[in-house]
Structure 1
Amino acid sequence: MSTDIAGSGILTKARTALTIAGGLYALALGLIAVPYFQSHTLYLNAVRLPWFADFDAPERYGLALNKTYNFKIQTVDNETLGAWFILSESVYQALPSHNVMPKSHIAHALRARPTILFFHGNAATRAFKVRIQHYTAFSSRLNANVLAVDYRGFADSTGSPSEEGLVRDARAAYEWLINSGAKGEDIIIMGHSLGTGVGARLAAQLSKEELAYRGIVLLSPFSSITELVKTYSVMGALPLVKPLTMIPYAFNFITWALIHKFDTLSVVPQIKGKVLIAHAENDWDIPYTHSEVLFNAFLEPLLPNVDIPSDPVSTTKEDWSAFTAQIAARKTQRENLVTTTRLPNFGVMEEFVDRGGESLVNGEPVRGAEYWAAGRPGGGAPWDREVIFVKMLEGNHDNVGIQEGLQDIIGKKFGLLSHTRPNLPLPIMSAPPMSAPASIAPESDVGGSDLSEAGGWSPLPSASERGEWTGEITKVID
């Protein structure tokens, strides 16, 4: 009798615990549907790690003495963004003294070395430890300048975050580089996590306006916020919304309530620069399948279509044969286009060159390799666009960009590991500091001004002229 009572008590407690857990789960999902809570959950901009950061003293967080310039960028809608410009290692080490503020050397640095325009993920600030590790690696191992920006509502930036607002922030940062002396073809857009949605929108915008950039790197990207919500698991083990799929229309409510889309998949057809996607298999936050989806989306226009039978039951033998033949042709074409390289103890790299694929230009279909020639006076030589996907064994979610193996691939693919220009003379130490461009207020270093002086798109130089790695991999490395 006592055993039955004890067993009944345990069941009662279990039901109570499940009821409470279910209630909390429903409450959490309900709060996510509220725009205020949804924004704070997505951006986590209130988590300003490290707390009370002194952005005027980047040396306190591991960067070299006077290697980093702390300043503000003004956006077109009058928000002020905190930013760091980190000098490339070759420029920094060539300075006559490290006791001089870096601002006066920015123009020279932009002429001497390419610049990585870095967009970080959610939460924390540009002084967060793992982000410092990225800047250090990019400026030292890749010998690139780095511009790191805190979005509106983050760190010491004004305003509140929104999808359109973050894209305006990205454009302001790009324009600050242009106005400060950088050439578009020397700017590499790089985003991590949330920053991939921001960087992809910027790349699509620049492509549409035919403004130059060297390419884009997506570290641990998601295909869209909607798909991320579908696949997200807490600590990689507890699915966030999968239980809702068992309730009719419940998940549709969640997706309907999303006000922040960051639909990178939808802008894939608009991105015309070189693309490198990197993801770790052990990423618990964003599954690497998101990167596979994005890579396949870039590849899709180059593959033959497959006509899926609308009614498999009534499909004739001839129709079925045609269907299977289309699948075989598609598989063969993919194998012919994509080069797969297995890198021992590191991962797998897949890559292809887009010499075809259709895009719409002024409503007219244009083959991908001819895109940049379309609508330009005198046309121009077609430019082949390379797309690379690196799936790594390690790196988790936050540490993908600091893997040296990936840095080497980025360096080779984007021409960062060799000097592509003769060394430029250093500025004379007695010369006055760099004056701000006419469109930039002396005190605020404004981005978002007119870009007419930057000119339109001109095809990038050939790989050999850029000093890029041009050798083709013809076999799988084991």
Structure 2
Amino acid sequence: MAPRTSQWAIPLGAGLGVPIALYTLFLFLGAFPFFQRQFLYAHKFNTLFWHDPNKPEYWGFARNQVTPFSLTTVDGETLYAWHVLPLSAYLRNEEKLQAQPAGFSNDFTKTESFHILRNDPNARLIISFHGNAGHIAQAIRPDHFHALTDTSAYHVLSIDYRGFGKSTGSPTEAGLIEDGATAVDWAMNVAKVPPSRIVIVGQSLGTAVTSAVAEHFAKQGIEFAGIILISGFSNLPTLLSRYMAAGFIPVLSPLRPFPPLLRFFQSFIVDKWRSADRLAQVVGLTRTRLRLTLIHAKNDLEIPCTESDALFRSAAVPISGTALDDDAFTAWKHDRTIVRDDGTFIVVAKAEPDIVIREELVPYGGHNDVTWSSPVALAVMRSFDSDSTEAS
């Protein structure tokens, strides 16, 4: 008679063997840049088969409130873009907007929407960079645009990065940075909106794009009205040691008990996305004004909120006045923090010439829904309203 343990040992071993084998295959494939980028950007996972971004009315926008159009990068990629009018501007121009053909515009500069943006000397523009997977109108993104335009006077510009949605090409770190810079260049040089009237916002992967774009322009002496990072991360190798895709699928976290093995697999990561270092550069290059806001939900199951702590530290160290060890920095941050009774907090650090760095931990919103929460809209308002100068 077989031992009783064999009655459950074999099925248990088989049950564990399948996920272990799949995880091993995942690690093996992830060592190759092509597969790694498929996993990281997940740009092929979208709903274009049954959703048409050229029909924004499907997501509750008024006819021609959203104008789909395209931008061309310096390396020849075509980026799909949305311009979203604030409802206040839409209402003032409703008759003309309703009379225009709807859908994709082959020449956005000839549309009424463009003229409303271009001809308003006080127009405020939010350039929004979304996270990985999907397309410009997928999941929570339309809700994010609604939250920013329904009850404000702010315009929104958003793009699909190369390889995403209807955009051409394949995503890489350098490529996505070029895409972000293309959107900002278009806003400043074609729409003629000065950087003092532009806030750049990113969520998840979009925070890495936003940080890189901010650094790119800071090196040119260009400062924006605001920089807002929602559900951000410090750098990709560190993130992947903690990240849970969809909130429950581990990436490199099972390797954390084995540091040499973890470092070995981290060495294969081709797109590093070192946002913490880039934010430190932005702060160090600021000569006039900076409004940097970090927002994270306490119940984010994908990217731990401690990642925003790391971003805050990297950005704040240059203005803290001296090199601080862990204990000294914790004390310095504590002196500037308001802790709420639910364990969330707001910390604000200020420095000359006119630098304000704010980190806010909110109780709810998870990884995605936080994008259309009031703290995000308030961060945009602070970025714009704290600028007392009117651009002309």
Same fold at TM > 0.5? yes
> Does 2:354 correspond to 1:354?
no
State the match for 2:104 in structure 1: none
Deviations 1:241-300 (A, max 9, x none): 233234463212211110111110111222243111111011111111100111111122
CA–CA distance in structure 2, aligned partners of residues 332 and 250 of structure 1: 34
The RMSD of aligned alpha carbons is: 2.4
Alpha-carbon shift at residue 100 of structure 1 (Å): 3.4
Alpha-carbon shift at residue 239 of structure 1 (Å): 4.3
Q: Which amino acid aligns with 1:290?
A: E
- Counterpart of 1:216 (choices 207, 227, 250) is 227
The answer to whether the 8 Å contact 1:346/1:392 transfers is: no
What residue ranges of structure 2 are gaps of 5+ in the alignment?
Answer: 101-107
State the match for 1:292 in structure 2: 309
Report which structure shows greater RCO (CA 8 Å, sep ≥6). Answer: 1
State the match for 2:134 in structure 1: 124
1:58-73 equivalent positions in 2, closer than 5 A: 58-73=56-71
Alpha-carbon shift at residue 147 of structure 1 (Å): 0.4
88 and 160 in structure 1: CA distance in 2 versus 1, 3 angstrom threshold: same
Alpha-carbon shift at residue 107 of structure 1 (Å): 3.5
- Counterpart of 1:183 (choices 184, 187, 194) is 194
Q: Which amino acid aligns with 2:181?
A: R
SS of equivalent residue, structure 2 residue 312: helix
The answer to whether the 8 Å contact 2:59/2:142 transfers is: yes
CA–CA distance in structure 1, aligned partners of residues 71 and 245 of structure 2: 36
The answer to whether the 8 Å contact 2:117/2:191 transfers is: no
The answer to whether the 8 Å contact 1:107/1:181 transfers is: no
11 and 154 in structure 1: CA distance in 2 versus 1, 3 angstrom threshold: same
26 and 49 in structure 1: CA distance in 2 versus 1, 3 angstrom threshold: same
- Counterpart of 1:232 (choices 238, 243, 248) is 243
> Does 2:14 correspond to 1:45?
no
- Aligned pairs, how many? 371
> Does 2:387 correspond to 1:389?
no
Alpha-carbon shift at residue 238 of structure 1 (Å): 6.0
CA–CA distance in structure 2, aligned partners of residues 389 and 396 of structure 1: 16
- Counterpart of 1:156 (choices 162, 166, 172) is 166
Alpha-carbon shift at residue 236 of structure 1 (Å): 4.2
Alpha-carbon shift at residue 335 of structure 1 (Å): 4.4
66 and 238 in structure 1: CA distance in 2 versus 1, 3 angstrom threshold: closer
Deviations 1:399-441 (A, max 9, x none): 112112442x21441136xxxxxxxxxxxxxxxxxxxxxxxxx
CA–CA distance in structure 2, aligned partners of residues 128 and 306 of structure 1: 43
SS of equivalent residue, structure 1 residue 27: helix
CA–CA distance in structure 2, aligned partners of residues 227 and 99 of structure 1: 49
Alpha-carbon shift at residue 19 of structure 1 (Å): 2.9
- Counterpart of 1:87 (choices 80, 85, 88) is 85
- Counterpart of 1:402 (choices 372, 379, 383) is 372
- Counterpart of 1:114 (choices 113, 119, 124) is 124
Alpha-carbon shift at residue 63 of structure 1 (Å): 1.2
Alpha-carbon shift at residue 73 of structure 1 (Å): 0.2
CA–CA distance in structure 1, aligned partners of residues 19 and 138 of structure 2: 34
> Does 2:189 correspond to 1:192?
no
TM-score computed with the length of structure 2 as normaliser: 0.87
306 and 190 in structure 1: CA distance in 2 versus 1, 3 angstrom threshold: closer
- Counterpart of 2:268 (choices 253, 257, 266) is 257
SS of equivalent residue, structure 2 residue 217: helix
Alpha-carbon shift at residue 118 of structure 1 (Å): 0.7
1:164-175 equivalent positions in 2, closer than 5 A: 164-175=174-185
SS of equivalent residue, structure 1 residue 275: strand
SS of equivalent residue, structure 1 residue 49: coil
Q: Which amino acid aligns with 2:24?
A: A
Instruction: State which drifts further: 53-62 or 392-401.
Output: 53-62
Alpha-carbon shift at residue 65 of structure 1 (Å): 1.1
Identity %: 29
CA–CA distance in structure 1, aligned partners of residues 325 and 63 of structure 2: 61
- Counterpart of 1:10 (choices 8, 11, 20) is 8
Alpha-carbon shift at residue 217 of structure 1 (Å): 0.6
CA–CA distance in structure 2, aligned partners of residues 331 and 13 of structure 1: 50
Q: Which amino acid aligns with 1:81?
A: L
CA–CA distance in structure 1, aligned partners of residues 48 and 193 of structure 2: 31
Alpha-carbon shift at residue 172 of structure 1 (Å): 0.8
Q: Which amino acid aligns with 1:394?
A: Y
CA–CA distance in structure 1, aligned partners of residues 223 and 4 of structure 2: 73
State the match for 1:56 in structure 2: 54
> Does 2:278 correspond to 1:267?
yes
CA–CA distance in structure 2, aligned partners of residues 91 and 306 of structure 1: 48
